[in-house]
A and B are shown apart, each in its own frame.
Chain A
Amino acid sequence: MKNLFGYVGRAFFAFLGILARIYFLLRETLVQSRIVLGDRVKRRQAGILQRIDEVGARSLPLVMTVSAFLGIAFTVLVSFQLRELGALSYLPGFVAVALLREVAPLITALIIAGRVGAAFTSRIGTMNVAEEILALETMAINPVRFLVVNRFLAMLVSLPALTVIASATALVGGFLYGNLRLGIPLDTYLRETLDVIMFKDVYSGLVKSVVFGAVIVLVGCDRGFAVEGGAEGVGRATMLAVVSATLTIIVFDTILTTAFYG
């Protein structure tokens, strides 16, 4: 029992330590982002477009494929229930609201946490192990500005954009099933969708994606900076980064959904 208390206590303080680190990383990232955005030369050197390509453009095929299939699967499930109730005409609106508010932002963030957040941790972790970060510090170069700011800014642009594309793709997937299998005509499907969705459905999804993007970058980079112990440490940190980012995203998703619609 004593051991259990000890374990819980240590885990709690370790968690507080991580929260404090993330807070300081966020603060430094915001300060350095302002410096980079305010200076033409530093903005060019930061390579933000290159990062947008890495984070956003290259994730596009995966995000679109997953969303299309998810849109279809979701529509299949919802149509099954609605048909039982004789309420199939509600299908387009129901699917659209669920996809825009919840499914597309969440799934896109989880995909990017796995694909890009993990890459951030392993990249920064490997640099840490190879003393590249220490080398930056000894050249009086701020590692946060050099390694985090471009990823942070690229993510804040890419994740909302990917979320919009994922929502659209999932809606198309849903429409294809509704049209080809259930025989709902295009104009009816479109009208039903547009009648139901509100501007709030779109922007709540975008707000979520901005928060999720910040979580992915901060958790991913923090784990990279905290790596100890060579290749094994990098592997462990990468796994922890994906687990922590996934959990944090789910928690923030619940908080934001409740705040918007609760």
Chain B
Amino acid sequence: MITVTNIVKQYGQRRVLDGLNFSADAKKITYVFGTSGGGKSTMPKVLIGATAPDSGEVRYGDMEITGLRGRSLDPYRKRIGVLFQNSALLNSLTVAENIALPIREHTALDDNIVRIMVKMKLELVGLRDFEDLYPGQLSGGMQKRVALARALALDPEIVYFDEPTSGLDPIIASVITKLIKDLNRLLGITCIVVTHAVDEAMRIADKIILLYRGKVLAEGTPQEIRESADPLVQQFITGSPDGPISFHASSRDFRDDLLVG
């Protein structure tokens, strides 16, 4: 179980996470979504230990993540997998080498065993014939799937997904969504997915967390979120341009701003 308590993160004057509190259950799929600028991009970085919050605490089981730096994070990182929004595959390595990288780094397995493990991971994402290609030779959707295979290389307990379906065609997006569901249902992996894709979240999430201005606006099952009476929640899940959430990110009044000069 991951517990996030009172996380605050500020960049200059802008407070992107403003006392964030939530928990994600083990072996469940938790979807996090929210408005742009609501802290959605910073939150996964805090969870994986890449960004230190100004205050607050992230715990995984009995391990406190926020107090760890550098190599002391390694035991935690060996237990997690991360699927980055832009895949973040190493372009100088082939698909197989990318997936083998964490296995070679953290195990003393023979090359033949590593090769078999790579094939198994690629089979899981349906790309077994692509092991000798370089990431640059693959489509965006394929890169995502290879990155997922790499995230699964060390059989992690949790996988963090950062916008796993953004920029993909609907069919590939559905494939990725189905993969997330299968990973959780068949392998019991805890999945934490940060996304814009409301429909996908409503379809497979066990729990949904809605972020707004660096705080949790609502959390619950898809059913509870759908039935929420909060107009902010309703505007977000229906994607309506009209409602309490303005598309203007500026805080100053437009008229005052024009008259200042």
Q: How far is the CA of A136 from the CA of B101 in the complex (A)?
A: 9
| Residues from chain B with Cβ under 8 Å of A138 in the complex | 48-50, 77, 80, 82
How many chain A residues sit at the interface, stated as a range, is: 10 to 19
Contact of A140 among B73, B90, B150 (CB under 8 A): B73
| Residues from chain B with Cβ under 8 Å of A134 in the complex | 50, 84, 88
How many chain B residues sit at the interface, stated as a range, is: 20 to 34
Q: How far is the CA of A134 from the CA of B41 in the complex (A)?
A: 14
B104 within 8 A of A: yes
| Residues from chain A with Cβ under 8 Å of B82 in the complex | 135, 138
Closest 10 pairs between A and B when the two form their complex, measured CB to CB: A135-B88, A140-B74, A140-B77, A131-B88, A139-B102, A138-B82, A141-B105, A140-B78, A132-B88, A131-B84
Write out, one digit per residue, whether chain A residues 112-146 have a CB within 8 A of any chain B CB (1) or not (0): 00000000000000010011101111111110000
| Residues from chain A with Cβ under 8 Å of B86 in the complex | 130-131
| Residues from chain B with Cβ under 8 Å of A136 in the complex | 90
Residues A139 and B108 in contact, CB atoms below 8 Å apart:
no
- Interface residues in B90-146 (C-beta closer than 8 Å to A): 90-91, 101-102, 104-106, 108
**Nearest neighbor of A134 in chain B, beta-carbon distance:** B50
| Residues from chain B with Cβ under 8 Å of A251 in the complex | none
Q: How far is the CA of A166 from the CA of B17 in the complex (A)?
A: 57
Residues A137 and B77 in contact, CB atoms below 8 Å apart:
yes
Residues A130 and B88 in contact, CB atoms below 8 Å apart:
yes
A193 to chain B, nearest CB (A): 44
B201 within 8 A of A: no
Q: How far is the CA of A203 from the CA of B84 in the complex (A)?
A: 49
Q: How far is the CA of A136 from the CA of B80 in the complex (A)?
A: 13
A81 within 8 A of B: no
| Residues from chain A with Cβ under 8 Å of B89 in the complex | 132, 135
Residues B101 and A139 in contact, CB atoms below 8 Å apart:
yes
Q: How far is the CA of A41 from the CA of B50 in the complex (A)?
A: 28
A45 within 8 A of B: yes
| Residues from chain B with Cβ under 8 Å of A41 in the complex | 104, 108
Contact of B104 among A45, A130, A140 (CB under 8 A): A45
A146 to chain B, nearest CB (A): 8
**Nearest neighbor of A47 in chain B, beta-carbon distance:** B92
| Residues from chain B with Cβ under 8 Å of A139 in the complex | 77, 101-102, 105, 150, 153-154
Q: How far is the CA of A134 from the CA of B44 in the complex (A)?
A: 12
| Residues from chain A with Cβ under 8 Å of B78 in the complex | 140
- Interface residues in A136-184 (C-beta closer than 8 Å to B): 136-142
Q: How far is the CA of A58 from the CA of B221 in the complex (A)?
A: 59
**Nearest neighbor of B84 in chain A, beta-carbon distance:** A131
Residues A141 and B101 in contact, CB atoms below 8 Å apart:
yes
A113 to chain B, nearest CB (A): 22
Residues B105 and A135 in contact, CB atoms below 8 Å apart:
no
| Residues from chain A with Cβ under 8 Å of B90 in the complex | 127, 132, 135-136
A78 to chain B, nearest CB (A): 45
**Nearest neighbor of B98 in chain A, beta-carbon distance:** A135
Known: A138-B48, A138-B82, A140-B78. A132 touches B91 (CB 8 A): yes
A223 to chain B, nearest CB (A): 19
- Interface residues in B163-177 (C-beta closer than 8 Å to A): none
Given contact pairs A138-B49, A140-B74, a sample of 10 additional A-B residue pairs in the complex whose CB atoms are under 8 Å apart: A127-B91, A131-B88, A132-B91, A134-B50, A136-B90, A139-B150, A140-B78, A140-B102, A141-B101, A142-B71
